[in-house]
Structure 1
Amino acid sequence: MARLTVPPEVPVVGEPGDSEERVENGHRGRWPDRLRQRPWLVVLAIALVAGLVALLALRDPDPPPLTQRDVDARVSVGLEAQAEEEARAPAEATLAFATIQPSLVLITTRGANSEGEFGGTGAGVIVNATGAILTALHVVEDADSITVAYTDGTRSPATIASADPDNDIAALEPETLPETVVPAVLGGGVQIGTPVYAVGHPLGLPGSLSAGVVSALDRDVRVDGGRRLRNLIQIDAAVNPGNSGGPLLNANGQVVGIVTGLANPNDESLFVGIGFAVPIATAGGTAGGPPR
C-alpha cells in the first residue's frame, strides 16, 4: 500500500513585508553600531575638523592695497633715515684736513738785510718718502736759517735743496725727519668750480683750513721782485701771510697746488678775496717728482 508523504508546514512568521522592514531596520542601525564599537573614529573626525578650522584661522589674510599715503609715508621715513646718516658723517673738509695733517709742515725763518733782522712764517708739505718738503720760494729764499716743525712735534733745521724761481717753488731738505714720514698724495688737475681747501698757518695761527672753489685757471700775475708767475690756479678760499707754501687740497685731501700769494690791489698783504696757487703738475718737479 502506497504511503502518502505530507509536506511540512511552513511556519508563519508574520505579515507580508515584515522581512523587508527588518532588512531596512537592520541597514539603518549598522553605522551607529560601528561608531559605538569604535569611539576613536569619532575622536579622529573631530580632530580633523578642528585642525582644518585652525589652519583657516591662522592663514594670513590678503594684504590691503597699497595707497599713495602709504608710499609717501615710506619715502618720508627713508629720507629721514638718509638725512640722519649724512648728518652723522664727517664733512668733506674735515676728511681732507685729516688726510693732509700728518704731511703739513710749519716753516719759520730768520735772516738779516740792510733794514735789519727779520723773521717769517710759512707752510710746506711733505711730498715723498725721503721727507722732501715743497713750499713757496719767497718764504725761504732770503733766510739765513730755516726751521721746520712737524705735526708730531719734531723740529729740524732745513736747507733749500732745489728751487724754481719762475714758478716760486722750492724743495727743502730737513736734517731730521719725524718718527713717521707721511707723504701727501698728489692729485691731478682741477676745473673751475671745483671745491678746494687751503691749509697753512695764516697770521701765525697754525693748522688752519679755509674753504672755497677754483674761480679761474691759467692766471698770470706779477709778484714782488718784478717776476711774473704764469698758469696759476685762482681761488676764493681765504689765504693770508703764513698760508704761502701750504698745500691746496681737493675734496679727497690730495694736493692739487702750492699756495703762492694773494691779490693785493691796495698794496695790502691781507686777503681781499682772491688767492693763487701753483698747480702741482708744475710744482712737483722741483722735489724731483715727475710732472703730473
Structure 2
Amino acid sequence: MSAVRSVARCLQEATAAFIVGLLALAGTAAAELPEVIERVRPSVVVVGTQQLTRSPQFVMRGTGFVVGDGRTVATNAHVIPAAIDEAAGEKLVIIVRLADAKAQQRPATVVAVDKGHDLALLRIDGPVLPALTLHEAEPVREGQAVAFTGFPIGGALGLSPVTHRGIISAITPIVLPGANARELNARVVQQIRSGSFDIYQLDATAYPGNSGGPLFDANRGEVLGIINMVFVKENKESVLSKPSGISFAIPVRFLRDLLQKAGP
C-alpha cells in the first residue's frame, strides 16, 4: 500500500512540475504590450520617394516593416508609385529610426509585387535591420487582441512610429458583388474571377499613412496581417459616402506566399 502511495505521490509531483514548466514557457512567450511595442518599433519603416530638385524633397507614401533576412521590407503594392522619374533624380527610399532615435534613409528596390492581395516586397542595402516574426501557428480568431504600428496621416504627426490597439472584430470576404452591373468595376471583376479571400476587420482605427504597416498579436508581437487603407476599403466600403472608421488588414499568409515566390 505504501508503494502505491509513493507512486501516486511521484506522479503528482511530476504533474505539478510539468504544469509549472508550461506556465513558465507561457510567461516567456507572452509579454505586456509596452514590451511588444519596443520589439516591433525598430522594424517599422517609412516608405516614400526622394527627389532633391523638388519641394518637399521627400514624399511619404506609407508604412512598411522588415521581414526575412533583415534587408527585405513588406508593404502594400499601392504604396509603391506606378512610376519613378529616375531621369529627374527621383528614387524609392525607406526611412528607419535607429537605436539612438536618429533617422536613416536607405534606397529601396521593388523585388516582388502581388497586386491581387495588394502586397509588395522591397530590397534595401546596408546593415541588417531587426525582422519581425510572421505568425504561422494556430488560426487567427475573431476577438483576438491585436495592435498595429505605423505613420498615420502621411507623417503629419511626425516620423515617429504610432501604435494603435484593438481586436479582430470580424474575418470577412473582401469581395461583395454590387447590386447591379454599374457597381462591378474592373478591380471587383478581376477579384471575382480569381476568387475572393478573407480579410481581417478591426475595431481600431487606422489612417492614411498606416497602409503597409504590420498588424501584430498584442501578446507576442507576431505579424498577423498587413494594414490596408485603400485597396480593401474601396471594395468593402465603396457604397459609403463618409468614412466609417472601420479598418482592415490582409492576412499574413499571403505575405508568406510572396516571400516564398520571391526566393532568397
Task: Assess same fold via TM > 0.5.
Answer: yes
- Which position in structure 2 is the counterpart of 1:245? 212
Q: Is the 1:196–1:237 Cα contact (8 Å) retained in structure 2?
A: no
Q: What is the CA deviation profile of residues 72-95 of structure 1, one whole-angstrom value per residue up to 9, with x for unaligned ones?
A: xxxxxxxxxxxxxxxxxxx83212
Q: Is the 1:247–1:257 Cα contact (8 Å) retained in structure 2?
A: yes
Alignment of 1:95-174 (within 5 A): 95-109=35-49, 119-144=59-84, 145-152=91-98, 153-174=103-124
Shift of 1:182: 0.7
- Which position in structure 2 is the counterpart of 1:279? 251
- Which position in structure 2 is the counterpart of 1:187? 135
Residue identity opposite 1:181 in structure 2: L
Shift of 1:289: 7.2
Structure 1 residues 134 and 232: CA distance shift in structure 2, 3 A:
same
Residue identity opposite 2:37 in structure 1: F
Identity among equivalent pairs (%)? 28
Q: Is the 1:107–1:122 Cα contact (8 Å) retained in structure 2?
A: yes
Structure 1 residues 225 and 105: CA distance shift in structure 2, 3 A:
farther
Q: Secondary structure at the match of 1:154?
A: strand
Q: Secondary structure at the match of 2:68?
A: coil
Residue identity opposite 1:231 in structure 2: D
Q: Is the 1:133–1:171 Cα contact (8 Å) retained in structure 2?
A: yes
Structure 1 residues 225 and 130: CA distance shift in structure 2, 3 A:
farther
CA RMSD of aligned residues (A): 2.8
Write the distance in 1 (CA, Å) between the matches of 2:185 and 2:206: 17
Q: Secondary structure at the match of 2:197?
A: strand
TM-score using structure 2 length: 0.64
Shift of 1:267: 5.0
Shift of 1:288: 3.0
Shift of 1:225: 6.4
Alignment of 1:257-276 (within 5 A): 257-261=225-229, 262=233, 264=237, 265-266=239-240, 272-276=244-248
Q: Is the 1:109–1:140 Cα contact (8 Å) retained in structure 2?
A: no
Shift of 1:197: 0.5
Write the distance in 2 (CA, Å) between the matches of 1:225 and 1:141: 20
Which protein has the larger Cα radius of gyration, Structure 1 or Structure 2?
Answer: 1
Residue identity opposite 2:75 in structure 1: T
Structure 1 residues 239 and 180: CA distance shift in structure 2, 3 A:
same
- Which position in structure 2 is the counterpart of 1:36? none
Q: Secondary structure at the match of 2:140?
A: coil
Structure 1 residues 120 and 267: CA distance shift in structure 2, 3 A:
farther
- Which position in structure 1 is the counterpart of 2:198? 231
Structure with larger RCO (C-alpha < 8 A, sep 6+): 2
Q: List alignment gaps of at least 5 residues for structure 1.
A: 1-90, 112-117
Q: Is the 2:69–2:128 Cα contact (8 Å) retained in structure 1?
A: no
Residue identity opposite 1:186 in structure 2: L
TM-score using structure 1 length: 0.58
Q: Is the 1:195–1:214 Cα contact (8 Å) retained in structure 2?
A: yes
Write the distance in 2 (CA, Å) between the matches of 1:196 and 1:143: 34
Write the distance in 2 (CA, Å) between the matches of 1:93 and 1:247: 15
Report how many residues are paired: 190
